[in-house]
Amino acid sequence: MTDSTRVSPEPATESPAARPRADRYDPKAVEPKWQARWAQGRVFEVDEDPAKPKYYCLEMFPYPSGRIHMGHVRVYSIGDVIARYKRMRGFNVLHPMGWDAFGMPAENAAIKNKTHPAEWTYKNIGYMKSQLQRMGLSYDWRREVTTCAPEYYRWEQWLFTRMFQKGLAYKRLGTVNWCPVDETVLANEQVEGGRCWRCGAEVTTRELSQWFFRITAYAEELLEGLDRLTGWPERVVTMQRNWIGKSVGAEIEFDVEGSSEPIRVFTTRPDTLGGATFMSLAPEHPRVAELAKQGGREAEVAAFVEKVRRQERIRRTAEDQEKEGVFTGAYCVNPLNGRRMPIWVANFVLMDYGTGAVMAVPTGDQRDFEFARKYGLPMVLSVTPKGEPPLDPAKMTEAYTAPGVLVNSGPFDGMDSEAAKDAIAEWLAARGKGRKTVSYRLRDWGISRQRYWGAPVPIIYCPDHGAVPVPDDQLPVVLPEDVEFTGTGASPLAKLERFVNAPCPTCGKMGRRETDTMDTFVESSWYFARYTSPGYDRGMFDRLKAKYWLPVDQYIGGVEHAILHLLYARFYTKVMRDFGLVDFDEPFTNLLSQGMVIKDGAKMSKSHGNVVDPDALIDQYGADTARLFSLFAAPPEKDLEWSDQGVQGCFRFISRVWRLVVEEPDLWRDGPEVGVSVDREALPRELAALRRKTHATIKKVTDDLDGFRFNTAIAAIMELVNAIYLAREAHGTAGAAGSVLREAIVAVVRLLAPFVPHVADELWERMGGRETLVFQNWPTFDPALVQADEVLIVVQVNGKVRSRITLPADSPEDDVRAAALADARVREFTGGKPPRKVVVVPNKLVSIVV
């Protein structure tokens, strides 16, 4: 359980209805007023200011689907608290917002409702922007970036042409989802349970020529860089590491009987080579047909390959998947011992990993073990446990995969298996039969989409010059607007002759324009840089401005983007760096991955029918309550369980703070910033305690905000508010009590400013504060008062120090005496007997005489 659930925001007994109406907290009056003031004062607009430290706070921008949902409320509240807090700490804060505006839903809507994707998208943007503005988020709206605007994707096309010239963008065959009924390519999102989202037909795959970004060229750097991302959650770093999937091993060549072309395998266990008894090829391996022909088993092999093609890729590699294969009839030769090895085709070998060929070692690898048992293939031991009699392959029930010593391995017999990995790789290398190598799971990034609503790939195919990049002065290649959406056949762009027919930029001969558009992940790979100079028309961004603002100091977004978006943005950053556009390696110094919003045990979503509409929430309680609840109900990285009572509690808490200020106008006669001028010694105990609590709370909220523990920060403010009510009841508001209360209430309002900015500004104004809290300094605490919260008291027995006890400062003398006498160390010396004399020096010393 978190701290925040232990502190009840408000005793349920107090009823706001008891107050006269004019004094009531009314977010409908407060919030629009302050939103207008902020906009008028342009308080969130920032420019480069070398005199101030910069802070770039960024939340992942939304897809303009139509309306914001509670997940948006949560992530944007988190980002806004950080931005507002850093502003109060004196940073020059860049906090922008924009729209990830290309993508399938707009096109699907066009097919269904006959509205143009652009119209649908811009309408949604307009509405969602008004929703975000109602939340009082502190964005510099001048910097709004919309990725479907030609002025944005122009620069993406510009970089594409550079990447093409450097070989970082290239075209090759790739697999796409294909609907045989609509005769169209489907995006992954359009495949629902293996069927076409539109017509329900079973989806098949097709090989199409596609564009790729060579992200694998950066595999090692993307992996290594993870070690330096100390501001990222460990779990995201681990997910990226696994996705890149580096394996160190060897490539080994096996001569094929009756062929001059050897087959290369990739293995992480060259030490097991002596136990390799057959070879397994991926069904898609280019040598399969030739070998089956040579082995006279063409029909069997072709039937098997066709069957595997229909199996899903994930299924093929799952551990419980039945291992299946077929013999090609051909043989190769083990380079270590000359053994003849049958060549098989197996469903669990994938073409896009390693070399698509595996040397099978049934005694060392579990899949090979099962495969060999099933098809009666030979088993030879090569690694066996150290210091034990060798295993007997006939009696093994599973493969032996741990390290051990080598047997049946010729010159390497008796060698430690770990040492043998290198030794065998070197032995092979010396004979031209292999070499040490590294393999990555990471694949090149397929960016081609056979869709309309995306940035066109800026290439023209010329009969003489092949693929020619569109020159800079012809960019952007603008997406034509007057197209027809049927959802069937080729992409709408391919049917548009006006678009397709284009002269070759090199020779002027009529060519054909590329009709593929780019994956929307390309736009989101660099938008953070565009915010630094959104209107810039001489490049992707103004380098000087980018130099001031970048990299992003704090990035915030859902963990569902832990791999692809964050990996692509890291890759793109390194590409931009290598083109001299930026001078850093990583785009996001710190990352916060917020949890989901849950209701009734399930993720809040339309499909679960448990959605709470942010508009309704704001209508009823106001944006400040919506923000406060989404920050209070859970730590940011955990899931947030929706609770109507929690929302009401947050509203009541704000009302309670409101009353503290408006019920005591006399406290504010001289404004909020009058210091506390009271004789500390003369303060009644509760008031001294309240002062300490005020300063301790400032310290705690500051520490918690630095650590993004928003929920415990809010809980601490709630506790302070409770203490203020108690002190006011006991001591009234006159004289010294008034000045201590004032100090406490002022602290509450200022500490609340990042969380509930509208009501905080309103109260600040009612207290006589100047302007808005946006630019007020963050409150500071008196370290002496914070330390004094607890004191260390020395306990002497007969004049000698025997123990030390910690007690709340200013504890009553009786409490101190009792605690000292009960201390275990003290009792050793008093023998538990009643003392002759006890002297208490407050907050310092207890002297016991026995």
For ligand ANZ, the binding residues (CB under 6 A) are 247, 266-269, 272, 282, 348-350, 353-354, 356, 358-359, 361, 364-365, 439
Give min distance, CB of 251 to ligand ANZ, in A. Answer: 10
- The residue at minimum Cβ distance from ligand ANZ is 364
Q: Which two tokens stand for residue 507?
A: 């020779």
Question: What is the rounded CA–CA span in Å between residue 641 and residue 602?
Answer: 9
Q: Which amino acid is residue 75, in one-letter code? A: V
CB-nearer residue toward ligand ANZ: 247 or 259:
247
CB-nearer residue toward ligand ANZ: 437 or 610:
437
CB-nearer residue toward ligand ANZ: 356 or 757:
356
Give min distance, CB of 656 to ligand ANZ, in A. Answer: 58
* Residue for token pair 């207890």: 846
Give min distance, CB of 260 to ligand ANZ, in A. Answer: 24
Q: Which two tokens stand for residue 309?
A: 């093609």
CB-nearer residue toward ligand ANZ: 5 or 268:
268
CB-nearer residue toward ligand ANZ: 143 or 269:
269
Give min distance, CB of 382 to ligand ANZ, in A. Answer: 8
User: Which residues have C-beta within 8 Å of that of residue 623, sequence separation ≥ 6?
Assistant: 27, 31, 134, 135, 136, 758
Q: What share of the chain is helix, strand, coil (3-state, %, to 5)?
A: 45, 20, 40
Question: What is the rounded CA–CA span in Å between residue 292 and residue 302?
Answer: 8
What distance, in Å, lies between the first and last C-alpha atoms of the chain?
A: 46
Return the bridge partners of 146, or none: 99
Question: What is the rounded CA–CA span in Å between residue 815 and residue 800?
Answer: 22
Give min distance, CB of 414 to ligand ANZ, in A. Answer: 18
- Other CB atoms within 10 Å distance of the CB of residue 665: 11
With contact defined as beta carbons under 8 Å apart, do 283 and 364 qualify?
no
Give min distance, CB of 294 to ligand ANZ, in A. Answer: 22
* Residue for token pair 């009401």: 648
Give min distance, CB of 267 to ligand ANZ, in A. Answer: 3
Give min distance, CB of 400 to ligand ANZ, in A. Answer: 8
Q: What is the H or E stretch that residue 767 is in? A: none
Grouping H, G, I as helix, E, B as strand and the rest as coil, residue 738 is helix
Rounded to 5°, angle at Cα 829 from 827 and 833? 60
Give min distance, CB of 364 to ligand ANZ, in A. Answer: 3
Q: Which two tokens stand for residue 60?
A: 């992942």
- Other CB atoms within 10 Å distance of the CB of residue 62: 21
CB-nearer residue toward ligand ANZ: 133 or 437:
437
Question: What is the rounded CA–CA span in Å between residue 757 and residue 762?
Answer: 9
Pairing label, strands 263-267, 445-446: unpaired
- Closest by CA to 694, choosing from 761, 631, 788, is 788
* Residue for token pair 């390290």: 403
Give min distance, CB of 300 to ligand ANZ, in A. Answer: 21
With contact defined as beta carbons under 8 Å apart, do 777 and 801 qualify?
no
Give min distance, CB of 234 to ligand ANZ, in A. Answer: 22
- Other CB atoms within 10 Å distance of the CB of residue 227: 9
With contact defined as beta carbons under 8 Å apart, do 558 and 75 qualify?
yes
CB-nearer residue toward ligand ANZ: 282 or 715:
282
Give min distance, CB of 270 to ligand ANZ, in A. Answer: 8
CB-nearer residue toward ligand ANZ: 164 or 348:
348
CB-nearer residue toward ligand ANZ: 110 or 358:
358
CB-nearer residue toward ligand ANZ: 170 or 353:
353
Q: Which two tokens stand for residue 231?
A: 């501001």
Q: Can you spell out the DSSP letters for 471-492? A: PGGG---PPPS-----SSSS-G
CB-nearer residue toward ligand ANZ: 266 or 568:
266
CB-nearer residue toward ligand ANZ: 232 or 266:
266
Give min distance, CB of 502 to ligand ANZ, in A. Answer: 40
Give min distance, CB of 693 to ligand ANZ, in A. Answer: 57
CB-nearer residue toward ligand ANZ: 272 or 409:
272
CB-nearer residue toward ligand ANZ: 351 or 563:
351
- Other CB atoms within 10 Å distance of the CB of residue 209: 10
With contact defined as beta carbons under 8 Å apart, do 328 and 339 qualify?
no
Give min distance, CB of 232 to ligand ANZ, in A. Answer: 24
Displacement of CA 178 from its chain's centroid (Å): 31
User: Which residues have C-beta within 8 Å of that of residue 266, sequence separation ≥ 6?
Assistant: 247, 249, 250, 251, 353, 354, 355, 357, 358, 437, 439
CB-nearer residue toward ligand ANZ: 155 or 254:
254
The CA distances from residue 639 to 359, 596, 602, 604, 756, in Å, are: 45, 5, 10, 11, 21
With contact defined as beta carbons under 8 Å apart, do 739 and 678 qualify?
yes
